[in-house]
Structure 1
Amino acid sequence: MELTLDGLSVVTDGRSLVRELSLTVPSGQVVGLIGPNGSGKSTALRCVYRALRPSSGTVRVGEEDLDRLTMRRSAQLVAAMTQDGAVDLDFTVEEVVALGRTPHLRGNHALSGREQELCERAMDRLDIRHLARRGVLTLSGGERRRVLLARALVQEPRILVLDEPTNHLDVRHQVELLSLLRDSGLTVLVVLHDLNLAAAACDRLGVLSRGRLVASGTTGEVLTTELVDEVFGVKASVVAHPLTGHPQLLYSLNSPL
């Protein structure tokens, strides 16, 4: 299912946080949003998972205006893993993962056998089955983020939205998580700060600066020395990964600030 942001703008307290953002995430592709802190990436994502209503413009899932769907229906189509990943109650890991089925349940019905199997498979994929009976508040930040992604997958969305999903993860779990996204078959919009991970994981990139989309295209088209310097203020050499050919950035710590 295709995701379209069409002329999206967000103005709050007289400040333009996102300005006329138009971006398409083709069905089944992974599109990354990159840009400096405060460039509007998380704000744009909040509009997609309906935590924030845009001041103008629309978000469409397929041919449908997201704002015209019921919250239940939009939750069946779009799952989100937010930046903070706050969990206030000390549910067990398996209870938190099972909450992903909430948009599909009627009343207080128990999970079906298929749904229980879905939860177990998601915990296996995220390497958290051994934590199933642990209270989620006892987990490390990285473990908790894997629990929240498992919950999102259990939701069986068509579109997955993730805000800095690799935060707190060790290298192994960063690579596994991004590999999972690439192989999921879902339409994915993800915010990443690590440009090399973005280059490896994403089919296309959109670059935000001061709320505006300043570049979009394939990773090779977007990640150039000139753009990284202009948008991020960093001098970097761009080389091809020896195995995949994806662009990789080499930074110099001696670059002037």
Structure 2
Amino acid sequence: MELRLDGVSVAVAGRALVRELRLDVPSGRIVGLIGPNGSGKSTALRCVYRALRPTAGAVLLDGADVTAIPLRESARLVAALTQESHSELDFTVEEVVALGRTPHLAHGRALGREERELCRWAMARVGVAHLAGRSVLTLSGGERQRVLIARALVQQPRVLVLDEPTNHLDVRHQVELAALLRASGLTVLVALHDLNLAAATCDRLGVLSGGSLVAAGSPADVLTPELIRRVFGVEATVVTHPRTGATQLLYDLTDETGRTGGEDRTRGVQSTGTAGTAKTAKAANTVHTSDAIAKGAPT
């Protein structure tokens, strides 16, 4: 299913949060939204999963305006994982995951055998099957996040919308999520802060700044030193991963005074690490993360 944001604008209390956003997410592809805090990423995603109605423009699913689709039907088509997805209700993990079937259960119908098996599969897929009987109130932030990902999978959507899905996840589970998305075959629109993870996971990137789309294209086309400097206000060196070919960024830790992260700014003591060592370590870390994504993702 193709997703298109067709000139989407959002204004709240007279303030423009998103300005004429035009972005295509082809069927079965992963498109990442990147940009600094407050650039409009979450607002744009809310329009897709119908938590917010655009002031102008439209969100289209295979050419149909999503607002013209009955809510239950659109909930079958689009699943969302939001930054606000948390519950203080004392549900078990299995009960929360089963909520993903709600759009498919008409007239209070209970889950069938195949649907319960689907829930068990989803919990196993994200590594929370052993928590099935636990209250979600007892889980860590990362465990809760994986439970919510399982709930989205159980919904069996055709479009998946994810707002910072790697929040609270350790590096292993970030890598596993990236591999899951790449193997899913779903149309995915995801907002990410980790630019290296976005480059390794997404087919295309859209860059938001001040509510406007300032660049769109492949990670290699979009993630240039000039754009990183202009949009994010940091210096970066662009490298190519030696094994996967993915675009990756090495950040310059030098501050405005010319001092590097290797200097103790409070005592004036030079640490054992130099700027070059810091960059080397960063590069090694980048390689390990991208390697793991490549190994975890099916070809």
TMscore range, shorter length: over 0.9
1:194-244 CA-partner distances (Å, limit 9, x unpaired) = 000000000000000000000000010001111100100110000001111
| Alignment TM-score, normalising by the size of structure 1 | 0.99
1:246 paired with 2:246, answer: yes
Give structure 2 stretches of 5+ with no counterpart: 258-299
Aligned length: 257
**Alignment RMSD, CA only?**
0.9
SS in 2 for 1:23: strand
| Amino acid in the other structure paired with 1:206 | G
* Match of residue 25 from structure 1: 25
Deviation at 1:88, TM superposition (A): 2.3
* Match of residue 77 from structure 2: 77
| Amino acid in the other structure paired with 2:48 | V
Deviation at 1:256, TM superposition (A): 2.8
Q: Give 4+ residue runs of structure 1 displaced > 6 Å after superposition.
A: none
SS in 2 for 1:207: strand
1:149-181 CA-partner distances (Å, limit 9, x unpaired) = 100010000000000000000000000011101
Which piece of structure 1 moves more, 63-72 or 159-168? 63-72
* Match of residue 182 from structure 2: 182
SS in 1 for 2:107: coil
| Amino acid in the other structure paired with 1:84 | E
Q: Is the 8 A contact 1:234 1:255 kept in 2?
A: no
Q: Distance in 1 between matches of 2:59 and 2:120?
A: 32
| Amino acid in the other structure paired with 1:71 | L
| Amino acid in the other structure paired with 2:164 | E
Deviation at 1:112, TM superposition (A): 1.2
Question: What are the within-5 Å matches in structure 2 for residues 101-120 of structure 1?
Answer: 101-120=101-120
Q: Is the 8 A contact 1:20 1:57 kept in 2?
A: yes
* Match of residue 192 from structure 2: 192
SS in 2 for 1:190: strand
Give structure 1 stretches of 5+ with no counterpart: none
1:156 paired with 2:163, answer: no
Q: Is the 8 A contact 1:97 1:154 kept in 2?
A: yes
1:36 paired with 2:36, answer: yes
1:91 paired with 2:91, answer: yes
| Amino acid in the other structure paired with 1:122 | A
Q: Distance in 1 between matches of 2:97 and 2:180?
A: 17
Deviation at 1:255, TM superposition (A): 4.0
Deviation at 1:113, TM superposition (A): 1.2
Q: Distance in 2 between matches of 1:69 and 1:190?
A: 22
